[in-house]
Amino acid sequence: MDISPILDPLNDEQRAAVTAPAGATLVLAGAGSGKTRVLIHRIAWALTALGASPHNILAVTFTNKAAAEMRHRIEKLLGMPGGAMWVGTFHGIAHRLLRLHHQLAGLPPGFQILDSEDQQRLIKKLIRAQELDDTRFVPRDVQYYINKLKDDGVRPAQVKAGYDPMQQTLAKLYAAYEETCQRSGVVDFAELLLRAFELLRDNASLAAHYRARFTHVLVDEFQDTNSIQYAWTRLMAGNDGSPFVVGDDDQSIYRWRGARVENLRQFSRDYPNATMFRLEQNYRSTGNILDAANALIANNSGRLGKNLWTSGGKGEPIHVYAAYNERDEADFVLHRILEWNRRGGARREVAVLYRSNAQSRVFEEAFLSARVPYKVYGGLRFYERAEIKDALAYLRLVSNRHDDASFERVVNLPTRGIGARTLEGLRAAARQRGESMWAAAARMLSGMPEQKLPGELSAAEAFGARGATALLGFLQLIDRLDADTKGLPLHEQIDHVIQNTGLIEHFRKDKQDKGEARIENLEELVSAARGFDADALSPGTEGEKLPPLEAFLAHAALESGEGQADEWDDCVQMMTLHTAKGLEFPLVFMAGMEDGLFPHQRSIDDLEGLEEERRLCYVGITRAMKQLYVSYAEQRRLHGMDSFGVPSRFIEEIPAALVEEIRPRVQVARPAIGVARFRPVAPEAAAPGIKLGARVRHTRFGDGVILNLEGQGSQARVQVNFEHQGAKWLMLSYANLEIVR
Ligand code: ATP
Ligand code: MG
């Protein structure tokens, strides 16, 4: 087989890493130096030169999108399908193992995944059930506590709560939570990882089987693995195995979720014979962008140390824009994108990155009104919308009757006369016998068992006569849906369930609260199912495949926003900085660069937290290939609150020589860091007749008076107080203002 397509597109160091002899290998290198490329070519190399078959490959990446891309590129390199390879995220692969070996893992066959919102809801219920004060035991904090323990591999029995009553109560909540999940047959995200780890740890022959199979275990973005993920990787690769891991300590951004950058050092200790490679040439960014990133990250301590250079040109300076407020910022970004587009750049080459999801809304509004297509990754994802979760809850119940979270969600949706009293009776009955709500309802409604436990009520007593009839109707509905949809193609199954549960009529009645949009979303769910490729999520040999409905439900729980817009539509890419990891774009905007927003308020006083934020900023800067715009607003309304911003200290850390400020700071509300560095430009009349106090007309906003003028040439902007629309900032060159005399 011709190996030149595998080795030719690599530099010497990359080639050395790709062709390294079997054995543990660590590639430690900075952003854009080709780590992911090396990993992909290593797989191709293993398949052609090291005698591996696709069956022997296990590759872990950070997102499902990255996994699909990786598979695609390997197949292209080799010109053959890579069917039996396992390529996925830690969560996806763990889920797969648990499905295949659910019995050994102690899970029911139809177990479901509990997403983070469902998890919080369940915890809230447990806090109430134990009659605890939920201002002291905040569901979010308890959730964090539980997930942290799981990430460290600690089960309730091993919690050392000591004598502190608070700790003891938390430990009790953890135990109650575990018991409920086990009974309902649901697993949360942290549980997926921990169970998959325990599965291999406790079943030596199974572990040996996988070790023999996966002779090549590869991990991308290794710096962001947590303890359990690393322990699991070691079990899969074995002590003498050949794990091939690539990472960058400067891009470790998930410490808050348990990631341990120390795993990079631990790896060298656990595999003392590991070969280490460093890559230093960056192929992604211009010289200025790279210099800015290098200067910024140099402020962090305890780095493993890397030197990145590029043979490309310096490129444009880093553009810094000081906006008046968040709308002005969005407007600015919008106009830059329009300009990029006008000059022949594609929209999909543009990324707008921000620190927190809530920042996307203002950009979405600006893009919508200018009809610029965009796609938001993450955020409120399609599968997290209430109506979608309602429909999925029905599907999950069809698949697993004991899923209490789903049961509770839809038992009275649409309303069918099952009130709070009936449900309370059912919960109590289920608790008493340690069974699921479904099991309790079915048992009691059938009058079983003859022998009651002390204090146990009959169905009529517990539910009330009307409640009992309604509950029976609900159980029959689910059984009927199950029977009627067996053997149907996935999208018909889903369509049938949506049509026959009464959800559509329920939302149709809802005239005010976006009922129509909700119905459209439900219809979208059917098309998502139609287009769903079960093989993409669950490739592998025949016996390893999941039933389509289960594969789809897992996809819905694990996937981010893929249902939203067509992946290949030419749209602006919007996402948080965290989500941007591993990706690259010719034009990048980093918005909301204000102290308190980025770095985030809760990290400012904590050195480790601040360094993590700085690494996040480094990730952001290094996503840019050709142009980078950084912006901040002097005034911002976020979460309904106004604040006055100070430019992020990270802007300060970029050497002034690399920066060009775009807007003159005419209206500095108060002194801000770095003011001296930026050269103000005097505003001048940008067009005849455009001056303070002039009356102007805008095609959309109507008539108004000019309040403010600033900038010059293509940067000139005016603030106009419109009679009906209030004050607005406009770019003069786009506004087409007409002077009214
Ligand atoms: P990150 O740290 O952001 O994940 P990375 O180290 O994984 O980055 P890649 O994404 O693999 O880097 O590569 C960055 C860019 O450089 C990609 O566009 C890739 O195709 C290109 N590239 C990598 N190596 C070479 C090479 N030897 N010749 C030409 N282009 C290369
Ligand atoms: Mg990468």
For residue range 304-316, what is the model confidence (pLDDT) as tens digits?
Answer: 888 789 999 999 9
Q: Identify the band that residue 680 occupies on the pLDDT scale cut at 50, 70 and 90.
A: very low
Say how many Å lie between the CA of residue 535 and the centre of ligand 2: 25
Does 563 have pLDDT greater than 60? no
Residue 677 lies in a domain: no
Is 251 known to be catalytic? yes
Q: Do residue 522 and residue 427 come from a single domain?
A: yes
Does the beta carbon of 580 sit less than 6 angstroms from any atom of ligand 1? no
Percent share of the chain, pLDDT over 70 = 90
Quote the number of domains for the chain.
Answer: 5
Q: pLDDT of 441-478, one tens digit each?
A: 999 998 766 667 777 888 888 888 899 999 999 999 99
Tokens 């890559």 found at:
279
Residue 350 lies in a domain: yes
Domain termination residue (choose one: 228, 255, 281): 281
Q: Which residue has the higher pLDDT, 241 or 488?
A: 488
Q: Determine which of 269-273, 496-500, 517-521 has the lowest per-residue pLDDT on average.
A: 517-521
Does the beta carbon of 624 sit less than 6 angstroms from any atom of ligand 1? no
Q: Which residues, other chains included, contact 179 with Cβ-Cβ below 8 Å and sequence gap of 6+?
A: 434
Does 296 have pLDDT greater than 80? yes
What is the strand order of the sheet 374-376 is part of?
374-376, 572-576, 350-354, 585-590, 624-633, 318-323, 659-661
Q: What are phi and psi of 699, to 5 degrees?
A: -60, -35
Q: Give me 504's structure tokens.
A: 């559509």
Is 567 known to be catalytic? no
In this structure, how many other beta carbons lie within 10 angstroms of the beta carbon of residue 156? 17
Does 624 have pLDDT greater than 60? yes
Domain carrying residue 314: 293-379+572-661
Residue 587 lies in a domain: yes
Tokens 């890493």 found at:
17
Q: Do residue 582 and residue 731 come from a single domain?
A: no
Q: 558 and 113 in contact (C-beta within 8 Å)?
A: yes
Instruction: List, as own/partner pairs, every contact residues 652-655 make where C-beta atoms lie below 8 angstroms and the sequence separation is at least 24, other chains included.
Output: 653/295, 653/296, 653/299, 653/614, 654/292, 654/295, 654/296, 654/318, 654/630, 655/291, 655/292, 655/295
Q: Give me 397's structure tokens.
A: 């119940």
Does 290 have pLDDT greater than 50? yes
State residue 698's pLDDT score. Answer: 83
Among 4, 69, 284, say which to mutate for ligand 1: greatest number of ligand atoms within 8 Å of CB. Answer: 284
Does 62 have pLDDT greater than 90? no
**Per-range mean pLDDT, top range of 581-595, 650-664, 707-721:** 581-595
First to last CA, the chain: 78
Question: Which of 356, 355, 374 has the alpha carbon at shortest distance from 364?
Answer: 374
Does 30 have pLDDT greater than 80? yes
Does 173 have pLDDT greater than 60? yes
Does 114 have pLDDT greater than 80? yes
CATH number of the domain residue 474 falls in: 1.10.486.10
Q: pLDDT of 175-234, one tens digit each?
A: 999 999 999 999 999 999 999 999 999 999 999 999 999 999 999 999 999 999 999 999
Q: Do residue 362 and residue 402 come from a single domain?
A: no
Q: Do residue 393 and residue 483 come from a single domain?
A: yes
Q: 234 and 60 in contact (C-beta within 8 Å)?
A: no
Among 4, 8, 36, say which to mutate for ligand 1: greatest number of ligand atoms within 8 Å of CB. Answer: 36
Q: Which residue has the higher pLDDT, 546 or 595?
A: 595
Q: Which residues sit opposite 596 in a β-bridge?
A: 600
Say how many Å lie between the CA of residue 583 and the centre of ligand 1: 10
Domain termination residue (choose one: 134, 162, 184): 184
Which residue stretches of 625-698 are H helix? 649-652
State residue 7's pLDDT score. Answer: 95
Q: What are phi and psi of 187, to 5 degrees?
A: -130, 135
State residue 47's pLDDT score. Answer: 93
Q: 639 and 358 in contact (C-beta within 8 Å)?
A: yes
Does the beta carbon of 14 sit less than 6 angstroms from any atom of ligand 1? yes
Q: Do residue 426 and residue 499 come from a single domain?
A: yes
Q: Do residue 69 and residue 162 come from a single domain?
A: no
Compute the distance between CA of residue 541 and CA of residue 535 in angstroms, rounded to an integer: 10
Q: Do residue 373 and residue 391 come from a single domain?
A: no
CATH number of the domain residue 734 falls in: 2.40.10
What is 336-384 written as a DSSP string?
HHHHHHHTT--GGGEEEEESSGGGHHHHHHHHHHTT--EEE-SSS-GGG
Does the beta carbon of 10 sit less than 6 angstroms from any atom of ligand 1? yes
Q: 394 and 482 in contact (C-beta within 8 Å)?
A: no
Residue 107 lies in a domain: no
Q: Give me 240's structure tokens.
A: 């003498």
Any idea how long the chain is? Answer: 741
Q: Identify the band that residue 670 occupies on the pLDDT scale cut at 50, 70 and 90.
A: very low
State residue 675's pLDDT score. Answer: 34
Does 685 have pLDDT greater than 50? no
Q: Do residue 395 and residue 512 come from a single domain?
A: yes
Residue 277 lies in a domain: yes
Compute the distance between CA of residue 739 and CA of residue 704 in angstroms, rounded to an integer: 10
Does the beta carbon of 70 sit less than 6 angstroms from any atom of ligand 1? no
Does the beta carbon of 34 sit less than 6 angstroms from any atom of ligand 1? yes
Among 39, 223, 283, 304, say which to mutate for ligand 1: greatest number of ligand atoms within 8 Å of CB. Answer: 283
Compute the distance between CA of residue 395 and CA of residue 481 in angstroms, rounded to an integer: 9
Angle formed by the axes of helices 548-558 and 90-100, nearest 10°: 150
Q: Identify the band that residue 620 occupies on the pLDDT scale cut at 50, 70 and 90.
A: very high
Is 221 known to be catalytic? yes
State residue 276's pLDDT score. Answer: 95
Q: Which residue has the higher pLDDT, 407 or 304?
A: 407
State residue 387's pLDDT score. Answer: 85
Nearest CA to ligand 1 atom 14: 32
Please state the atom number of ligand 1 nearest to the C-alpha of residue 221: 4
Say how many Å lie between the CA of residue 231 and the centre of ligand 2: 22
Is 541 known to be catalytic? no
Q: Do residue 486 and residue 391 come from a single domain?
A: yes
State residue 671's pLDDT score. Answer: 37
Does the beta carbon of 734 sit less than 6 angstroms from any atom of ligand 1? no
State residue 358's pLDDT score. Answer: 73
For the CA of 251, the nearest ligand? 1
Q: Do residue 413 and residue 492 come from a single domain?
A: yes
Q: Identify the band that residue 559 occupies on the pLDDT scale cut at 50, 70 and 90.
A: low
**Secondary structure (H, E, C), 113-150:** EECHHHHHHHHHHHHHHCCCCCCCCCHHHHHHHHHHHH
What is the CB-side half-sphere exposure of residue 364 using CA atoms within 13 A?
13
What is 5-42 written as a DSSP string?
HHHTTS-HHHHHHHTPPSS-EEEEE-TTSSHHHHHHHH
Nearest CA to ligand 1 atom 18: 284
Give the global pTM: 0.76
Please state the atom number of ligand 1 nearest to the C-alpha of residue 279: 6
Residue 565 lies in a domain: no
Residue 598 lies in a domain: yes
SS3 645: coil
CATH number of the domain residue 40 falls in: 3.40.50.300
Q: Which residues, other chains included, contact 731 with Cβ-Cβ below 8 Å and sequence gap of 6+?
A: 331, 332, 335, 715, 716, 717
Question: Which of 690, 683, 692, 676 has the alpha carbon at shortest distance from 739?
Answer: 690
pLDDT (average), residues 155-179? 93
pLDDT (average), residues 610-616? 96
Q: What are phi and psi of 358, to 5 degrees?
A: -60, -20
State residue 382's pLDDT score. Answer: 64
**Per-range mean pLDDT, top range of 481-485, 538-542, 678-682, 698-702:** 481-485
Q: Do residue 136 and residue 76 come from a single domain?
A: no
Is 284 known to be catalytic? no
State residue 379's pLDDT score. Answer: 52
Q: Identify the band that residue 95 occupies on the pLDDT scale cut at 50, 70 and 90.
A: very high
Q: How far is CA 20 from CA 281, 492, 711, in A?
A: 19, 50, 56
Say how many Å lie between the CA of residue 584 and the centre of ligand 1: 9
Angle formed by the axes of helices 165-184 and 116-129, nearest 10°: 120
Compute the distance between CA of residue 520 and CA of residue 507 in angstroms, rounded to an integer: 10
Nearest CA to ligand 1 atom 8: 32
Q: 286 and 308 in contact (C-beta within 8 Å)?
A: no
Work out the angle at residue 47's Cα, subtended by the Cα atoms of residues 45 and 53, and round it to the nearest 5 degrees. 160
Question: Which of 258, 202, 262 has the alpha carbon at shortest distance from 235?
Answer: 202
Compute the distance between CA of residue 92 and CA of residue 564 in angstroms, rounded to an integer: 20
State residue 664's pLDDT score. Answer: 52
pLDDT (average), residues 406-413? 93
Residue 499 lies in a domain: yes
Does the beta carbon of 37 sit less than 6 angstroms from any atom of ligand 1? yes
Is 225 known to be catalytic? no
Domain termination residue (choose one: 253, 281, 309): 281
> What is the phi-psi region of residue 29: left when phi exceeds 0, alpha when psi lies from -120 to 50, beta otherwise?
beta
Q: Do residue 121 and residue 98 come from a single domain?
A: no
Percent share of the chain, pLDDT over 90 = 54
pLDDT (average), residues 357-381? 79
Compute the distance between CA of residue 365 and CA of residue 379 in angstroms, rounded to an integer: 15
State residue 511's pLDDT score. Answer: 66
Kind plus residue range of the DSSP H or E element containing 387: helix 386-399
Q: 31 and 306 in contact (C-beta within 8 Å)?
A: no
Does 642 have pLDDT greater than 90? no
Among 7, 37, 62, say which to mutate for ligand 1: greatest number of ligand atoms within 8 Å of CB. Answer: 37
Does 516 have pLDDT greater than 80? no
State residue 639's pLDDT score. Answer: 63
